[in-house]
């Protein structure tokens, strides 16, 4: 069996990283972290350019490939190219052709979209506390446009974790 690729996506402060950490603990595996956080922690809050976003995207793709090569039974991605595509469009008003192509080609076995129905957690790297519902709608539109199935996770962390495990286990059984 090939590794099961699980991807968690959604707007800022919607519980992606917390869910990834919980799933990693449950399955005793590592997670491909959101590279933007690593990069922006070094750069400083909200001082990035379009070129920085391109660097983040390249590094994120490389990180996914690295984790995928670890030959785990399951591997988890904290974020996907939908996040980067929306971020580029929303912040800079464009979507680079190579991000568009990479987004269209990106594949996952199980895709979870986290609904921003949990309290906002302030963080110097976050920009959209009042705009999460609009961004969530953009995620739904893009994921539907992509034509690949996804599961919306909502409610408290325990509910999200339980639903995510259920869908992962269903996928494992069907492989």
pLDDT tens digits for range 62-91: 887 777 777 678 889 999 999 999 999 999
Q: Where do the structural domains in the chain lie, given as residue ranges? A: 4-174
> Are the beta carbons of 125 and 40 closer than 8 angstroms?
yes
| Residue scoring higher pLDDT (47 or 20) | 20
**So what's the pLDDT on residue 33?**
85
Q: Is the pLDDT of residue 160 over 90?
A: yes
| Residue scoring higher pLDDT (164 or 65) | 164
pLDDT tens digits for range 37-57: 888 888 866 678 899 999 999
Task: Show the DSSP H helices in the chain as ranges.
Answer: 16-27, 35-43, 50-68, 81-92, 97-105, 132-146, 157-174
Q: Does domain 4-174 have CATH number 3.40.50.300?
A: yes
> Are the beta carbons of 57 and 103 closer than 8 angstroms?
no
Mean pLDDT computed over 6-32: 94
């Amino acid at each position: 069996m090939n590794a099961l690729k699980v991807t968690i996506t959604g707007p800022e402060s919607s519980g992606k990283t917390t869910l990834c950490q919980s799933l990693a603990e449950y399955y005793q595996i590592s997670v491909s972290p959101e590279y933007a956080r690593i990069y922006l922690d070094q750069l400083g809050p909200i001082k990035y350019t379009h070129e920085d976003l391109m660097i983040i995207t390249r590094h994120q793709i490389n990180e996914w490939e690295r984790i995928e090569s670890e030959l785990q039974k399951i591997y988890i991605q904290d974020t996907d190219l939908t996040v980067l595509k929306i971020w580029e469009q929303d912040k800079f008003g464009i979507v680079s052709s190579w991000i568009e192509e990479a987004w269209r080609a990106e594949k996952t076995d199980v895709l979870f979209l986290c609904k921003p129905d949990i309290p906002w957690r302030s963080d110097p790297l976050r920009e959209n506390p009042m705009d999460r519902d609009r961004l969530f709608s953009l995620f739904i539109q893009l994921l539907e446009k992509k034509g690949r199935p996804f599961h919306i996770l909502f409610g408290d962390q325990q509910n999200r974790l339980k639903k995510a495990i259920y869908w992962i286990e269903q996928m494992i059984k069907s492989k």
